[in-house]
Structure 1
Amino acid sequence: MKTKFVGLPIYYRKTLLLVIMRTFIFLCCMATFGFSTKIGFSQDKKIVVDRDQELSVEQVFDLIRQQTDYSFIYRSDLFSEAPRVKVKKGETRINRLLQKTLSFADFEYELSPDGAILLIKKEKQVKRKKEKVQQEITGTVTDTNGTPLPGASVLIKENTTVGTQTDFDGNYSIMVPGFESTLVFSYLGFTTKEVVVGDQTTINVTLDEDAQGLEEVILVGFGTQRKAEVTAAISSVDIEEIQKIPTADVATSLQGQVAGLNVAIATGAPGSEPIIRIRGLGTIGNNNPLVVIDGIPGELSYINPSDIEDISILRDASAATIYGSRASNGVVIVTTKRGRTGDPRVTIGSYASTQWFSNGVDVANRSQHDQIKLEAFNNAGEAPAPYLTSGAQYADSDWVGAYIDNAFEQKHDIGISGGTENMKYSFSAGYFENTGTVVNTDFNRLSTRLNLDFNLLEGRLKIAPGVSYTRETTGGIFEPTEEGNASFSPFLQIYQTLPHKAIFDSNSLNGFATPPSELGSGNPVGETQLNDRTDEDDYLQFNVAATLKLFDGLDYRFQYGANIENTHFANFLPTYNFGPQAVNENPSLSELRTRSNEWTLNNTLNYRKSFGKHDIEVLLGISREKSEFRSAGGSNNELASDQLRGLSAGIGDESSFGFNSTSTLQSYFGRLSYDLDDKYYIQGSVRRDGSSRFASTNKYGNFYSISLGWAVHNESFFNSELISQLKPRFSYGTLGNQLIGDHLFLARIGSGGQQLNYPFGAGQSQPVIVGAIATSLPTPDIQWEETATTNIGVDLGLLQNQLKFSFDYFTSETTDMLVNVPIPATSGITSFPLTNGGNLENKGWEFSASYNNSNNDFSYSVSANISGSTNEVTKLGIADEAFTDGFIEFNNFPTTRTEVGGEIGRFYLFEADGIFQTQAEVDAHGVQPNAAPGDLRFVDTNGDGALDDDDKQFMGSGLPDFEYGINFSANYKNFDLSLFFQGTHGNNIYNGVRMWLYRTDRQNMSADLLNAWSPSNTGSNIPRNVFGDPNNNIRPSSYFLEDGSYFRLRNLQVGYTFPQNIMGNLPVDNLRLYVTATNLFTITDYSGFDPALGNGGTFNRGVDRGFYPLSKSLILGLNLTL
Structure 2
Amino acid sequence: MSKKLSFKLKLLMLLPFCLLLVAGAFAQGIAVRGKVTGNGGEALPGVTIVLKGSTVGTTSDVEGNYSLSLPSATGTLVFSYIGYVSQEVAINNRTTINVTLVMDAKAMEEVVVVGYGTVKKSDVTGAVASVSSEELSAYPAQGTVQALQGRAAGVQIQANNGAPGASFKVRIRGGTSINASSDPIYVVDGFVGGALPPPEDIESLEVLKDASATAIYGSRGANGVIMITTKRGKTGKPRININSSVSSQNEINRLDLLNADQFRDYIKEARPTFDLGTANANTDWQDLIFQKGGIQNHQLSFSGGGENVNYYISGNYYDQKGVILNSGYKRFSVTSNIDIKASEKLKVGLNLFAQRASQQQAYTQEGSGGLTPGVISAAFKFEPDQPIIDPTTGRFTVARLNDPQDNPYAVATQLENESLNDRIQGNFFGEYDILKGLKFRTTIGATTNSGRAGYFAPTTLNVGRTVGGEATVSGSKSTLLLNENYLTYTRDFGQSSNFSVMGGYSYQTSSSENWGGTGQSFITNAGSYWNLGGSSVWQSPSSGLTEWQLGSYYGRANLSLLDRYLFTATIRRDGSSNFSKNHKWATFPSGAFAWKMMSEPFMQGISAISQWKWRVSYGLTGNQAIAPYQTLARFSNVYSVIDGLAVNAVRPTVVANNDLTWETTAQLDIGTDISFLDNRLNFIVDYYRSVTRDLLFSVQLPQYSGYPNQLQNIGSVENKGFEFTLNSRNLVGEFQWSSDINFSRNRNKVLKLPGGNELQYSAAPGHLVGLGNTHILREGYPVGTIFGWIYDGVYQEGDEFLPGGGFERMAGGEKFRDINGKRDAQGKLTGEPDGVLNSDDRTIIGNPHPKFIWGFNNDFRYKGFDLNIFFQGSQGNDILSYTLMELNLLSGINNATTDALKRWTPTNTDTDIPKAASGRTRRVSTRWVMDGSYARLKNVALGYNLPETVVNSLKMSKLRVYVSAQNIWTITKYKGYDPEVNYMSEGATNSNRNLGLDYGSYPNAKSYTVGINIGF
Same fold (TM over 0.5): yes
1:102 corresponds in structure 2 to: 88
* C-alpha distance in 2 between matches for 1:1081 and 1:852: 26
Shift of 1:450: 1.1
1:555 corresponds in structure 2 to: 439
Shift of 1:725: 1.0
2:53 to 49, 53, 58: 58
* C-alpha distance in 2 between matches for 1:858 and 1:671: 45
1:597 to 479, 486, 508: 479
2:132 corresponds in structure 1 to: 238
In structure 1, give the amino acid aligned to 2:259. N
Quickly say closer, same or farther: Cα 1:253–1:441, change in 2 above 3 A.
Answer: same
Secondary structure of the structure 2 residue equivalent to 1:745? coil
For the pair 1:632 / 2:627, whether they are aligned, the reply is no
* C-alpha distance in 2 between matches for 1:299 and 1:525: 39
Shift of 1:770: 2.0
1:843 corresponds in structure 2 to: 720
* C-alpha distance in 2 between matches for 1:676 and 1:60: 39
In structure 1, give the amino acid aligned to 2:745. G
* C-alpha distance in 2 between matches for 1:950 and 1:570: 46
**What CA RMSD, in Å, does the superposition of the two structures yield over aligned residues?**
2.7
2:20 corresponds in structure 1 to: none
Shift of 1:501: 1.7
* C-alpha distance in 2 between matches for 1:807 and 1:517: 57
2:564 corresponds in structure 1 to: 679
Secondary structure of the structure 1 residue equivalent to 2:635? strand
For the pair 1:667 / 2:562, whether they are aligned, the reply is no
Answer yes or no: is the 8 Å Cα contact 1:626–1:665 preserved in 2: yes
Q: Who wins on radius of gyration, i.e. which is larger?
A: 1
Shift of 1:936: 2.7
Shift of 1:507: 10
Answer yes or no: is the 8 Å Cα contact 1:491–1:1106 preserved in 2: yes
2:79 corresponds in structure 1 to: 86
In structure 2, give the amino acid aligned to 1:611. F
Structure 1, unaligned runs of 5 or more:
1-50, 63-76, 106-160, 167-171, 173-184, 192-208, 378-382
Answer yes or no: is the 8 Å Cα contact 2:373–2:405 preserved in 1: no
Answer yes or no: is the 8 Å Cα contact 2:452–2:475 preserved in 1: yes
Secondary structure of the structure 2 residue equivalent to 1:232? coil
Shift of 1:604: 0.8
For the pair 1:900 / 2:779, whether they are aligned, the reply is yes
Shift of 1:888: 4.2
* C-alpha distance in 1 between matches for 2:51 and 2:938: 42
Identity level (%) = 31
* C-alpha distance in 2 between matches for 1:517 and 1:263: 39
Secondary structure of the structure 1 residue equivalent to 2:598? helix
Shift of 1:881: 4.5
For the pair 1:1046 / 2:934, whether they are aligned, the reply is yes
Shift of 1:680: 1.1
Secondary structure of the structure 1 residue equivalent to 2:858? strand
For the pair 1:447 / 2:333, whether they are aligned, the reply is yes
Quickly say closer, same or farther: Cα 1:52–1:274, change in 2 above 3 A.
Answer: farther
Answer yes or no: is the 8 Å Cα contact 1:625–1:664 preserved in 2: yes
Secondary structure of the structure 1 residue equivalent to 2:540? strand
1:567 corresponds in structure 2 to: 451
Residues 323-722 of structure 1: pairs in structure 2 closer than 5 A: 323-377=217-271, 383-387=272-276, 390=277, 392-457=278-343, 459-479=344-364, 489-504=374-389, 512-513=396-397, 521-576=405-460, 578=462, 583-613=465-495, 614-644=497-527, 645-718=530-603, 719-722=605-608
1:61-80 CA deviation, whole Å, 9 max, x = no partner? 99xxxxxxxxxxxxxx9997
Quickly say closer, same or farther: Cα 1:299–1:586, change in 2 above 3 A.
Answer: farther
For the pair 1:876 / 2:725, whether they are aligned, the reply is no
Residues 247-396 of structure 1: pairs in structure 2 closer than 5 A: 247-284=141-178, 285-299=180-194, 302-377=196-271, 383-387=272-276, 390=277, 392-396=278-282
* C-alpha distance in 2 between matches for 1:1120 and 1:497: 49
Secondary structure of the structure 2 residue equivalent to 1:586? coil
Shift of 1:555: 1.0
Quickly say closer, same or farther: Cα 1:728–1:855, change in 2 above 3 A.
Answer: closer
* C-alpha distance in 2 between matches for 1:52 and 1:235: 24
In structure 2, give the amino acid aligned to 1:386. D
Secondary structure of the structure 1 residue equivalent to 2:901? helix
* C-alpha distance in 1 between matches for 2:608 and 2:541: 71
Shift of 1:376: 2.2
Quickly say closer, same or farther: Cα 1:824–1:1070, change in 2 above 3 A.
Answer: same
* C-alpha distance in 2 between matches for 1:730 and 1:421: 42
Quickly say closer, same or farther: Cα 1:691–1:924, change in 2 above 3 A.
Answer: closer
Secondary structure of the structure 2 residue equivalent to 1:618? strand
Secondary structure of the structure 2 residue equivalent to 1:493? helix
1:725-747 CA deviation, whole Å, 9 max, x = no partner? 11111000101111111021110
Quickly say closer, same or farther: Cα 1:60–1:530, change in 2 above 3 A.
Answer: closer
Quickly say closer, same or farther: Cα 1:1084–1:758, change in 2 above 3 A.
Answer: closer
Quickly say closer, same or farther: Cα 1:469–1:660, change in 2 above 3 A.
Answer: same
In structure 2, give the amino acid aligned to 1:708. F
1:864-898 CA deviation, whole Å, 9 max, x = no partner? 00001112212222553414233244565332211
* C-alpha distance in 2 between matches for 1:1077 and 1:610: 50
Shift of 1:446: 0.8
Quickly say closer, same or farther: Cα 1:480–1:802, change in 2 above 3 A.
Answer: farther
Quickly say closer, same or farther: Cα 1:796–1:1045, change in 2 above 3 A.
Answer: same
* C-alpha distance in 1 between matches for 2:669 and 2:400: 66
For the pair 1:818 / 2:707, whether they are aligned, the reply is no
User: Between Structure 1 and Structure 2, how many residues are aligned?
Assistant: 929
* C-alpha distance in 2 between matches for 1:769 and 1:879: 45
* C-alpha distance in 2 between matches for 1:432 and 1:589: 29
Bigger share in strand: 2
1:773 to 639, 643, 651: 651
Shift of 1:809: 0.3
1:492-538 CA deviation, whole Å, 9 max, x = no partner? 222111112211479988x8456789995522311231111111100
Structure 2, unaligned runs of 5 or more:
1-45, 58-69, 821-832, 986-990
1:544-598 CA deviation, whole Å, 9 max, x = no partner? 01001112211100001111000101112222254xx773442322111111110
* C-alpha distance in 2 between matches for 1:779 and 1:911: 41
Quickly say closer, same or farther: Cα 1:518–1:998, change in 2 above 3 A.
Answer: closer
Quickly say closer, same or farther: Cα 1:990–1:487, change in 2 above 3 A.
Answer: farther
Answer yes or no: is the 8 Å Cα contact 1:574–1:584 preserved in 2: no
In structure 1, give the amino acid aligned to 2:407. N
1:807-849 CA deviation, whole Å, 9 max, x = no partner? 000011111111001124564435x211111111211110011
Answer yes or no: is the 8 Å Cα contact 2:220–2:622 preserved in 1: yes
Answer yes or no: is the 8 Å Cα contact 2:402–2:893 preserved in 1: no
Secondary structure of the structure 1 residue equivalent to 2:215? helix
Answer yes or no: is the 8 Å Cα contact 2:681–2:728 preserved in 1: yes
1:986 to 854, 862, 876: 876
Quickly say closer, same or farther: Cα 1:902–1:853, change in 2 above 3 A.
Answer: closer
Answer yes or no: is the 8 Å Cα contact 1:673–1:684 preserved in 2: yes
Shift of 1:966: 0.2
* C-alpha distance in 1 between matches for 2:465 and 2:719: 50
In structure 1, give the amino acid aligned to 2:574. D
* C-alpha distance in 2 between matches for 1:446 and 1:317: 36
* C-alpha distance in 2 between matches for 1:912 and 1:660: 49
Secondary structure of the structure 2 residue equivalent to 1:411? strand
In structure 1, give the amino acid aligned to 2:53. E
Shift of 1:924: 7.0
* C-alpha distance in 2 between matches for 1:734 and 1:1071: 49
In structure 1, give the amino acid aligned to 2:963. V
* C-alpha distance in 1 between matches for 2:931 and 2:547: 45
Answer yes or no: is the 8 Å Cα contact 2:281–2:387 preserved in 1: yes
Shift of 1:277: 0.5
Secondary structure of the structure 2 residue equivalent to 1:1090? coil
* C-alpha distance in 1 between matches for 2:158 and 2:252: 21
Secondary structure of the structure 1 residue equivalent to 2:522? coil
Secondary structure of the structure 1 residue equivalent to 2:617? strand
